[in-house]
Amino acid sequence: MINTGTSDDAQASVTVCKFGGSSLASAAQLRKVRDIVESDPSRRIIVPSAPGRRSPSDTKVTDLLYLCHHASSVGADFTAPFGQVVERFVDIERELGLLPSIADRFEDFRRELTAGVSADYAASRGEYFSGVLLAAFLEAEFIDPVDCVHIGSHGVVEASTWDALGARLATGARRYVMPGFYGRDATGAVRTFSRGGSDVSGAIAARAAGAALYENWTDVSGMLMADPRVVDNPRPMAEVTYAEIRELSYMGASVLHDEAMAPVREVGIPIVIRNTNAPADPGTRIVAELSPEIIQSTQIAGIAGKTSFAMITIGKNLMNREVGFVYRLLGVLEHNGIPFEHCPSSIDSVSVIVESRWLEGRVEEVLDEIRRTLEPDDLDYVAAIALIAIVGEEMARTPGIASKVFSALAGAGVNVRLINQGASELNIIVGVSPDDYALAVRAVYDAFVK
């Protein structure tokens, strides 16, 4: 149970809404945000990103702020990028009919930049000013995360945040706005999160408030079962588990990062991915366990993959009797600073799959060390191999999944180079030639969905 200082009934009624940059790119988008928030009284905690691009030619606000910081740090003029940022916010403020105040706040920020601030502080101002505007527009109470979100030395939220932020969110105001992306370090200085920062902040707010739901509002109506660049009009996922999302994310699916799910996953708060531009769409729910109707309607959650792998295969007679063989193989990788992804094996052979980028410019060096260390009978290197993951919680309890996968690939004329399945039976991973990647994904998708 999270100690937030609020009653169970109050906690159960709270929904936290994080809005991404595309949802806050213009005054028109902020009006959509207000309509969404006001349509449900439980949406009491709002976490905004910095304004996103209005068009492909726009430069991200955060990128402009980093540019301002760099220019200031070397004594260069940052007037041009700074002016672009100010213009974005002033235009939004004016179009929303808010009392003009943001320009004065930016003048204070300009003086801070000139005097010298950290890169984290400069970058965080996009979310900060976005939160200031949104709080004024929603007539909500503004919470600066620097006061109550504690980030440790490794960039991970500290446990002290739950009490500090929970108490701040329990002061009785009707609605709160807390900017995403940043908090404070042990010295009180602004510290940003590294990846998916505002998503992380939304999850932190949901956990600290003991929320019933965390809504992540973006520009897509949930998650899709396959990459739409590969499969035409893939089916949306109605519901998916945290574990399934982790597998799909690892294999390249564009979903929430692990760090953005961890705070709510640990306490079982569901997440819903929603579309600000189509708020009636149900989106995708991310939950601890699938509902019975979802279990009955689908055999797999989704398909994801990447074409950026390489494979080293070592063959040696009686390898299975040679104590420490795989240990020494992985030791070669460790010595060269190379993480491995998978390690399928048989009695007399073992393969390691790594991201190709780790071997760039040093393939022969690594292979030579493997030869010296292990004295293999055979050593084979495949420079490019694509991995495809077929993911689903129910796969372990559904007969015929593997048969359907390999029948689909055989029917499409795709040669399978490797097969790997984890002990949890949450996924089946197949390796194919990168040239066959799109064909293979479409074949497997059609086997399960069409």
Tens digits of residue pLDDT in 290-303: 887 776 677 888 99
Please tell me the distance from the alpha carbon of residue 262 to that of residue 256, in angstroms, as a whole number.
10
Kind of pairing between the strands at 349-355 and 302-315: antiparallel
**Whole-number pLDDT of residue 396:** 75
Specify the pairing of strand 43-48 against strand 176-177.
parallel
Q: Contact at 8 Å (CB) between 44 and 213?
A: no
Residue of 239, 143, 220, 209 lying closest to 182 (CA atoms): 143
- Which tokens go with 162? 């739950």
pLDDT, tens digit, 9 for 90 and up, residues 140-150: 999 999 999 99
Using pLDDT thresholds of 50, 70 and 90, give the confidence band for residue 440. very high
Higher-confidence position of 252 and 32: 32
**β partners of residue 47:** 18
Closest by alpha carbon to 189, among 153, 241, 141, 137?
153
8 A C-beta contact, residue 340 and residue 366: no
Can you give the pTM of this predicted structure? 0.84
Q: Is 319 helix (H, G, I), strand (E, B) or coil?
A: helix
Is the separation of the CB atoms in 26 and 54 below 8 Å?
yes
pLDDT in tens, 177-197: 999 999 999 999 999 987 667
Whether 124 and 159 have beta carbons less than 8 Å apart is answered as: no
Burial class (CB in 10 A: 0-12, 13-18, 19+), 407: middle
How far is CA 200 from each of CA 157, 264, 397, rounded to the nearest angstrom?
9, 10, 33
Average pLDDT over residues 368-391: 94
Q: CA-CA distance, 262 to 244, in Å (whole number)?
A: 14
Helix 437-449 × helix 401-411 angle, to 10°:
130
Cα distances from 133 to residues 149, 183, 426, in angstroms, run 20, 19, 44
Q: Which two tokens stand for residue 296?
A: 């009955």
- CB-CB contact of 72 with 81 (8 Å): no
Q: Is the pLDDT of residue 282 over 60?
A: yes
Per-residue tokens: 129: 């000013």
pLDDT at position 8: 47
Mean pLDDT, rounded, of the chain:
90
Contacts of 240 (CB under 8 A, 6+ apart): 223, 248, 284, 285, 286, 287, 290, 301, 302
Identify the band that residue 7 occupies on the pLDDT scale cut at 50, 70 and 90.
very low
For the stretch 150-160, pLDDT in tens is 999 888 889 99
- Does the pLDDT at position 17 exceed 80? yes
| Closest among 379, 229, 358, 371 to 303, alpha carbons compared | 229
Domains along the chain? 12-219 (3.40.1160.10), 302-449 (3.30.2130.10)
Q: How confident is the model at residue 366 (pLDDT cuts 50, 70, 90)?
A: very high
pLDDT of res. 4: 38
Find out whether 312 and 370 touch, Cβ atoms under 8 Å. yes
The sign one gets for the Cα dihedral 373, 379, 384, 389 is negative
